[in-house]
Structure 1
Amino acid sequence: MTDPHDVFELAAQHEQVVFANDPATGLRAIIAVHSTALGPALGGTRFYSYPSTGAALRDVLDLARGMSYKAALAGLDLGGGKAVILGNPETDRSEALLRAYGRFVETLGGRYRTACDVGTCSADMDLIARETRFVSGRTVAHGGAGDSSVLTAYGVFRGMQAAAGFAWGEESLAGRRVGVAGVGKVGRHLVRHLVEQDASVVVTDVSDAALARVRAEHPEVEVVASTAELVAAPLDVYAPCALGGAVDDDVLEVLSARVVCGAANNQLAHPGIEKSLADRGIVYAPDYCVNAGGLIQVADELDPAGFSFERAQQRAEGIAATTREVLEVAARDAIPSATAADRLAETRMRDVGRLRGIWVP
């Protein structure tokens, strides 16, 4: 059970936390704005069946903080925020609910700008945009960037190559055995990049439909029944691409991979795991460093000239260089890579944020 005092302390580290309740549509949502030191907060909306409101609050607070660090490390002039809609997207999603959520976003006056996340898609953003100006990740038909998982996966792939170079001395994944846990939107695109570079890929997912799509596209990919089976298998790289908390003490007990690099947010289950990874000689590419491609993609919609996929992809290419810098700082200062990434992001938020203060519309 979540300790309410811990959650309160975590919420107190955020600039703003707002709850929405609209009985007419069934909307129950939370928006957390962690920091606007670098600019307005941009972060996706997660539509998910949480076991409790407390669990949803904990998740949105953790995710919002991660978005601040992600934007800072990616060099964007954006702050960090996140939102969650409590419910089952398969049964509770409706135009009325999404438009009510759009009105909720509008009340923040631009301090928070939403986009897609787990359980939401670009078509949802189009509906939300009928009630608010502050939406990114819309469909291409409405001038948006479309599916942000495309560049999320590309950034993870480039970060994985950089981590491979650090681990084995060459930035190639050819012949490496890569385990991908979660082959939904991002994991599916990542598998394609890996197969194209002649990696040996093994996957798992709780969704039979997701596995069937991957099998149809890449018959050579090996499928295992569970994440537990995947992490216990011989691997060179482990790529968590589902929900958070994927790297815990149990996983570390059996993990043979030399590199951990995936798309999931908040992969480390608790403080101290980052040191355990470093002590075991595992190269960890911090999640918010390598999975910033989607944020870069939707942020490009804010350019006055309009969205350019080529420009966004060029910027996402920089994730490889950022990953190298993080790993080099970690090695130089004898600290875990997660700590090195935090320090780099915090330095930018402090130095640039000092000039800007809290962003107001």
Structure 2
Amino acid sequence: MKLFETLAEMGHEEVVMCSDPSVGYRGILAVHSTKLGPALGGTRFWQYATDEEAITDALRLSRGMTYKNAVAGLHLGGGKSIIIGDNKTKDREKIFRAHGRFVESLGGRYITAEDVGTTTKDMDYVHMETGHVAGLAGKSGDPSPVTAHGVFRAVQASANRMWGSDGLEGKTVAIQGCGSVGTHLARELHQAGAKLIVSDIDSGKAARVSQMTGAKIVEGDAIFSADADIFSPCALGGIINNTTIPKLKVQIVAGGANNQLLEERHGDELQKRGILYAPDYVANAGGVINVYGEIAGWDAQRALDKADDIYDTVLKVFDIAETKNIPTYEAADRLAEQRLAEAT
């Protein structure tokens, strides 16, 4: 990797390589942009195959947070941090306190939170060394209700654009993933009169959603070929790909999972098939809205109200896509870039 060329190309402001051998800590703090405010992004704890792979992930994820925060209309920039190592380690306090000291060294330019491989308890350790951390136990709490509500509003906006009405009465939604976000989303969709088809690798989770909403349960990959109007991926990323796109019978894809397109070209493929795609980082911005609410001192209702705005944002993205004749994933980037340009 030609590091400085990559930083210039991706637009990063600062990348800090951190090490504290006394506690076995190796980390990367990536600040992509502070144009709109301090860079917010979680701490990912992962055992990467190589240091280069870890740096690449930090750069990609931090830029993604800039775009997500900009599109959500938040006064936040984008950043991300990586801790390289085994995230199942029991000796967590020393590692996360070391991480907190490095976060503190940036003087508030970067605010961290939990992410893959980390927990609210880990963030409490970080908090022992710095105030520049969110997602603490007893603060904003579980972000999944706010994330799910934002996805629900994205589904409504997509329905409005596709069928001329927000109404979901009688529409069938196939939800992949019945974790916290998928469960809360299923409840809102059920209350709106939608019929549900669900799948999850954990059959117990799918059964609970079925019991609550009357959803039909399908196994594994059958969710992709389900007879539905809307597909809502709420589990793993990369599930819109060469294998799954030909199976889809839906007219809309709108869900809570991150990085739903395996590659950007798969967004083009959805468009060619006449499937309307609500870009993932627009639809699932409720999570970061919830964290911002904690920083800004909002109550839970205000965060939910802000997640309501995702409806209008999704419609703006569709308008840009239509006017410029570009795929919706590209239109979302244009909207983010427009807000960033206005801040300079």
> TM-score under structure 2 normalisation?
0.90
| One-letter amino acid of the counterpart of residue 241, structure 1 | C
Evaluate the alpha carbon distance shift between residue 190 and residue 27 of structure 1 in structure 2; reply closer, same or farther with a 3 A threshold: farther
Question: Could you tell me whether the CA contact under 8 Å between 1:11 and 1:17 is conserved in 2?
Answer: no
Deviation of the 1:28 alpha carbon: 3.6
| 2:315 is aligned with 1:324 | yes
Quick check: 1:169 aligned with 2:168? no
Query: What is the aligned partner in structure 2 of residue 357 from structure 1?
Result: none
Contact 1:122 1:146 in 2 (8 A): no
SS in 2 for 1:75: coil
CA distance in 2 between counterparts of 1:310 and 1:26 reads: 41
**Residue matched to 2:144:** 149
Q: 1:191 to 1:26 in 2, by over 3 A?
A: farther
Q: Which moved more, 1:259-268 or 1:79-88?
A: 79-88
Q: How far apart, CA to CA, are the structure 2 residues paired with 1:212 and 1:205?
A: 9
SS of the residue 2:175 aligns to: strand
Question: 71, 74, 80: which is aligned to 2:72?
Answer: 74
- Tell me how far 1:300 sits from its aligned partner: 1.8
* Amino acid paired to 1:57: I
Other-structure match for 1:358: none
Pick aligned residue for 2:6 from 6, 9, 15: 9
Figure out how many residues of one structure are paired with residues of the other and give that number. 343
Q: In the aligned structure 1, how far is the partner of 2:144 from the partner of 2:4?
A: 30
Residue 190 of structure 1 deviates from its aligned partner by 1.7
Determine the structure 2 residue equivalent to 1:266: 259
Secondary structure of the 1:243 match is: coil
Residue 36 (structure 1) aligns with: 34
For 1:260 and 1:281, the matched residues in 2 are separated by: 11
Distance 2:336 2:118 in 1: 28
Question: Mapping of 1:110-189 within 5 angstroms?
Answer: 110-140=108-138, 144-189=139-184
Counterpart among 205, 221, 231 of residue 238 in structure 1? 231
The answer (yes or no) to whether the contact 1:248–1:273 under 8 Å persists in 2 is: yes
Q: Does the C-alpha gap of structure 1 residues 193 and 219 become closer, same or farther in structure 2, counting only changes over 3 Å?
A: closer
CA contact (8 A) 2:169 2:193 kept: yes
C-alpha spacing 1:206/1:90, structure 2 compared with 1 (3 Å): farther
Q: Return 290-299 or 325-334, whichever deviates more.
A: 325-334
Pair 57,245 (structure 1): closer, same or farther in 2 beyond 3 Å: farther
> How far apart in 1 are the matches of 2:184 and 2:82?
24
Deviation per CA, 1:71-115: give whole Å up to 9, x if none: 111111110112233445444562232222222221222111012
Note closer, same or farther for the CA distance 1:91–1:329 as it changes in structure 2 (3 Å cut). same
Using a 3 Å threshold, how does the CA distance of structure 1 residues 16 and 208 change in structure 2: closer, same or farther?
farther
2:198 matches 1:203: yes
Question: Structure 1: how far apart are the matches of 2:205 and 2:136?
Answer: 23
- Which residue of structure 1 lines up, in the alignment, with residue 289 of structure 2? 296
- Counterpart of 2:328, as a letter, is S
- For 2:55, which of 54, 57, 61 is the aligned residue? 57
Moved more, 188-197 or 274-283: 188-197
Q: Residue 237 of structure 2 aligns to a residue in which SS?
A: coil
The 5-angstrom pairing of residues 20-35 of structure 1 reads 20-35=18-33
Which residue is equivalent to 1:341? 332
Q: 1:307 aligns with which of 280, 288, 298?
A: 298
SS of 2:313's equivalent in the other structure is helix
Letter in 1 for 2:102: F
- Cα displacement (A) at 1:307: 3.0
Report the aligned-residue RMSD. 2.5
Aligned partner of residue 250 in structure 1, secondary structure: coil
C-alpha separation in 1, matches of 2:4 and 2:244: 26
Structure 1: 5+ residue runs without aligned partners? 355-361
CA–CA distance in 1 between the matches of 2:321 and 2:239? 22
TM-score (ref. length: structure 1): 0.86
**Separation in 1, partners of 2:47, 2:177:** 18
Partners of 2:22 and 2:15 in 1: CA distance: 22
Give the conservation status (yes or no) of the 8 Å contact 2:190–2:213.
Answer: no
Tell me how far apart the structure 1 counterparts of residues 51 and 180 of structure 2 sit (CA, whole Å).
Answer: 26
Amino acid corresponding to residue 149 of structure 1 in structure 2:
S
